[in-house]
Amino acid sequence: MQRLLLIAAVLVAGCSKGPEADLQYISKARSLGAEWALVNEQSSAGKLTENYTQSMREAVREQLKTASSSLTQPNSDYAGEIGALLAEPDDATPAQLRAHADKLKRIEDSLESA
């Protein structure tokens, strides 16, 4: 019985495509946008070192690119949002970055409740 459940779970996880499968990348991008905003906010307040700020911004970009390229629906609205987030300059204001993160959160929530 456990084996059957396991096989079923694997099939369900593997066969899903589209927005459901992209949920983990939307969630990841949302978090990355929020972390970027937090870093920029704390950096403006003089609480971070230059090395840390720069390294974190680079890490965010790299992870966002990976998430973006993993999407199964590259023409969706959330793909566009992630693209817009990537297009922001390194020192974008926290508000701008959070706007993207919040949009992604709303998409994430609507997909999860679906």
Partner 1 sequence: MNPLELTLGIMTAVGGFVDISELVFAAKAGSMFGYALIWVFVVATIGIMVFGEMSGRVAAVAKQPVFNLMRHRLGLKLGLVTLLASLIANLITCAAEIGGVAFVLNYLTGAPYMLMAIASTAVLMASMWILPFKWIERTYGLLGLFMIVFLVALVAIKPPWHQLAGGFVPHIPHGLSTKELLIFAYYMVAIVSAVMFPYEAYFYSSGGIEEKWAPKDLPMNRITCTVGFGLGSLLSISILASSTQLFMPANVGPELLGSSALEAAIPFGTTGLLLALAGMLFAISGAAIETCMANAYSLCQFFGWEWGRQRKPWQAPRFTVAWIGFFLLALAIILTGIDPMNLVEYAVLFSILVLPLTYLPLLLLAGDPSYMGQYANGPVGKTFGWLYFTIITVAAIGALPLYVITSGGQG
Q: Where are the alpha helices (DSSP H) in 16-49?
A: 19-44
> What is the distance between the alpha carbons of residues 34 and 104, in angstroms, rounded to a whole number?
10
Q: Is 84 in the site for partner 1 (CB under 8 A)?
A: no
Among 19, 22, 30, 40, binds partner 1 (CB under 8 A): 30
Q: Is 65 in the site for partner 1 (CB under 8 A)?
A: no
Q: Is 47 in the site for partner 1 (CB under 8 A)?
A: yes
> What is the distance between the alpha carbons of residues 98 and 87, in angstroms, rounded to a whole number?
14
> What is the distance between the alpha carbons of residues 21 and 11, in angstroms, rounded to a whole number?
13
Residues in contact with partner 1 by CB under 8 A are 2, 5-6, 9-10, 12-13, 23-24, 27-28, 30-32, 34-35, 37-39, 42, 46-52, 54-56, 59-60, 63, 101-102, 105, 112
